[in-house]
């Protein structure tokens, strides 16, 4: 893996859960992770249209989308990228 930063998009509406993920990433020694978080699936889809993510963490219980429907909408809008 290269020394570039890894962009993570966290789709989570609970602020305490967002802070938990931030805290865990802060414990990692190399600091290569850039975390961006949004509270709604619609916000995530807009963000991904502008800035791609290397990793997406998706809450399946969001204000604007629930369950597998969230994953399916996300996958349609942001299909997996191929590795170089």
The predicted model gives 10-28 an average pLDDT of 96
- Res 68 pLDDT > 90: yes
The model carries a pTM of 0.87
Number of domains in the chain: 1
The strand pairing partners of 62, in sequence order, are: 65
Domain that holds residue 22: 6-77
Indicate whether 16 belongs to any domain.
yes
Asked if 65 contacts 13 with a C-beta cutoff of 8 angstroms, the reply is no
- Res 18 pLDDT > 60: yes
CA distances for 10 relative to 74, 84, angstroms: 12, 24
Indicate whether 27 belongs to any domain.
yes
User: In terms of Cα–Cα distance, which of 20, 25, 23, 12 is closest to 61?
Assistant: 12
């Amino acid at each position: 893996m290269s020394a570039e930063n890894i962009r993570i998009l966290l789709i989570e509406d609970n602020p305490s859960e967002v802070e938990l993920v931030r805290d865990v990433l802060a414990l990692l020694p190399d600091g290569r992770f850039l975390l961006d978080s949004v509270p709604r699936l619609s916000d995530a889809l807009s963000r991904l249209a502008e800035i791609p993510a290397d990793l997406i963490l998706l809450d399946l219980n969001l204000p604007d989308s629930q369950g597998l429907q969230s994953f399916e909408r996300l996958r349609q809008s942001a299909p997996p990228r191929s590795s170089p």
